[in-house]
Every structure is written in structure tokens, then in C-alpha cells.
């Protein structure tokens, strides 16, 4: 039986904590109904408790989402005694041989504690640029919903906690039980955060990047180069690229692609236009280019996107 400690953070995301406990309880119940022993012994610990609650007493420490609404709030929360204590608990748990898993903004707790240095990780998509700036020593793949670089696993935005729990169940119980829990909970497979990233949200954090987004949307039906975009907002191409990387974590080409993709998906979901016409309206002369891009980014075909809508 795997002993799991779930760290309940002060003012942490209640839904993330609940998802963690519910998923593990579901795994135990599914196992019992199948005539097998429950695989997990779960207890909730708090940052104010003795570290003996985690040291040598668990096989896995899980830190649910921190629950912040802005980068400024994140920075402030990371400096609080409770969150710094959470980082020390994670370090002590690893030193005692336990694995550690965290999602959303709580991935910053692991990075701040030095546990992700030189490792692969992910985080919530909208804080990825901040993560890159604060922790350049981490191999961040913000497109991924879960990066299971055991003995440490990280997950993306808030509801990715469920994806993280399925990865935990697969690792510490069995892939079959993880799949059974996914079916029981009516969960679809999701491999990437990319389809859920809101470019407008990221761009809105910087006036010039927001202007670039608006310019691209206004000129979306025609071909243009990134130098032209940079010139339209009064920046050199190099400065524009640096600004985009800092604010959105994207290259200029990726930024324009993401905007074209959003526009194409909206047309596919809300109109009966052919894929060829949609491609033309979002600036792709070859419809095959749009088809490949949609399949790569959303893992679905244009027809599947339309059926889903």
C-alpha cells in the first residue's frame, strides 16, 4: 500500500485539494469493488504541523494548487512563511525517499525549493513566462498537461490536478486502475494545455504585445512577416521577439500561429464554411497547412472540432 501525504496549503485551491482526495478515494473504491485491496493510504497534512508527518512516513507527497490570480499575487504568496514551509517539507520528503507531485502554481514551490533544477516540468500555461524568468534552470514544457519526471511530477493549470492524479494512480497502482478511474469519472484524455491557452489573456499583460495581437487579428486574412508586425507596433524584430518571449513564452511565428488557430477554430465551430474557406480567411493559402496545424495543436481534425461544437 502506497502511503500518500496531501499537503493542504493555507488559502490553497479548495477544488484542487478536493480533486486529489476524491481521485485517490475513487481508486481505492474501484479496487475494493474489484475484490482487491485499496492501493492507497491517504492523509492530509498541514504546513504548521511537525515535519515528522512527512519525513519517512510517506511514499508520495502531493501539493495541490496554490490558488493565485496574478503573477504579483504568486510572488507575494511564495514569500509567505507557510509556503516556504511547504517547500522545506517537500525537500525533506524527497530526502527521505518520497516522490513529490504538484500542480498549477504549486510547481513554483518545488522550483523555489530547488527540486526542479535540471529536471523536466510543466506549470499552468498563463504563468509559464514568469516560470521561465524565475527558473531558467528548469526544462519547462508548458504545453504538457502532466510531466511525470519521477520521482517528481508536475501538472499544468488548476483542473490538471485530475490528470496528475491519474498519472499518480498509474504509477503507484496500475495503468489499468488509472484507466478504470478515468472511465468511472467520465474523463477524456488530454495530453496538451495548448488548446486551452488564451493568447489574448497573455498578450493583455503588455501594451505593445496587445497591440501586436490586435494588428495580427486585423490583418489575419493576408500573408505577412514578423518584421512587419514588429514595425507596425514600433519595435525592432529582435526587441519584439524578446518582449513576446517574456510576456507569452512564444516566438513571433508561434504567436501568430496561435492567433490564426483560435480564429480558425471559432469559424469551424460557429459557421458552415468549408475548411478551404476558413484557411483562406485566417491567412493560409494551402488548407493542408491549417489541417496539419489543427491536428498538431488540438489533437483533432477540423471535422472533429466541428462535430464537438
| pLDDT value, residue 175 | 82
C-alpha span between 53 and 43 (Å, rounded): 9
Number of other CB atoms surrounding residue 127 within 10 Å: 22
| pLDDT value, residue 247 | 78
Query: By C-alpha distance, which of 155, 171, 158, 124 is closest to 27?
Result: 171
Determine whether 179 is exposed, middle or buried from the number of CB atoms within 10 Å of its CB (0-12, 13-18, 19+): middle
Q: Which residue has the cell 498509474?
A: 170
Whole-model pTM: value is: 0.71
The 10s digit of each residue's pLDDT in 100-111 is 999 999 999 999
The CATH code belonging to domain 2-193 is 3.40.50.880
For residue 54, is pLDDT > 80? Answer: no
The 10s digit of each residue's pLDDT in 155-193 is 998 788 998 999 999 899 998 898 889 888 877 666 556
Which residues of the chain does CATH 3.40.50.880 include? 2-193
The 10s digit of each residue's pLDDT in 250-276 is 899 999 998 998 889 888 888 889 999
| pLDDT value, residue 301 | 83
How large a percentage of the chain has pLDDT more than 70?
91
The CATH code belonging to domain 198-308 is 1.10.10.60
Provide the CB-side half-sphere exposure for 61 (13 A, CA). 35
Amino acid at each position: 500500500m502506497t502511503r500518500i501525504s496531501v499537503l493542504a496549503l493555507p488559502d490553497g485551491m479548495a477544488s484542487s485539494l478536493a480533486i486529489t482526495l476524491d481521485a485517490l478515494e475513487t481508486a481505492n473504491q474501484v479496487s475494493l469493488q474489484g475484490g482487491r485491496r485499496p492501493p492507497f493510504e491517504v492523509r492530509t497534512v498541514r504546513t504548521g504541523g511537525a515535519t515528522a508527518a512527512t519525513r519517512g512516513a510517506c511514499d508520495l507527497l502531493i501539493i495541490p494548487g496554490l490558488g493565485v490570480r496574478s503573477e504579483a499575487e504568486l510572488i507575494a504568496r511564495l514569500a509567505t512563511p507557510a509556503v516556504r514551509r511547504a517547500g522545506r517539507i517537500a525537500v525533506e520528503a524527497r530526502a527521505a525517499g518520497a516522490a513529490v507531485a504538484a500542480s498549477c502554481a504549486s510547481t513554483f514551490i518545488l522550483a523555489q525549493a530547488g527540486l526542479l533544477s535540471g529536471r523536466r516540468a510543466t506549470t499552468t500555461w498563463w504563468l509559464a513566462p514568469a516560470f521561465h524568468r524565475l527558473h531558467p534552470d528548469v526544462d519547462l514544457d508548458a504545453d504538457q498537461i502532466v510531466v511525470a519526471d519521477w520521482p517528481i511530477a508536475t501538472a499544468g493549470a488548476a483542473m490538471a490536478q485530475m490528470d496528475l492524479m491519474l498519472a499518480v494512480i498509474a504509477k503507484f497502482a496500475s495503468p489499468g486502475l488509472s484507466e478504470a478511474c478515468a472511465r468511472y469519472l467520465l474523463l477524456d484524455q488530454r495530453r496538451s494545455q495548448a488548446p486551452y491557452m488564451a493568447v489574448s489573456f497573455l498578450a493583455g499583460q503588455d501594451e505593445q504585445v496587445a497591440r501586436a495581437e490586435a494588428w495580427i487579428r486585423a490583418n489575419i486574412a493576408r500573408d505577412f512577416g514578423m518584421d512587419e508586425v514588429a514595425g507596425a507596433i514600433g519595435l525592432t524584430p529582435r526587441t519584439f521577439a524578446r518582449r513576446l518571449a517574456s510576456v507569452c513564452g512564444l516566438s513571433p511565428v508561434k504567436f501568430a500561429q496561435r492567433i490564426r488557430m483560435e480564429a480558425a477554430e471559432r469559424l469551424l465551430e460557429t459557421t458552415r464554411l468549408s475548411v478551404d474557406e476558413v484557411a483562406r480567411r485566417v491567412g493560409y493559402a494551402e488548407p493542408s497547412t491549417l489541417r496539419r496545424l489543427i491536428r498538431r495543436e488540438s489533437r483533432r481534425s477540423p471535422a472533429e472540432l466541428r462535430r464537438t461544437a
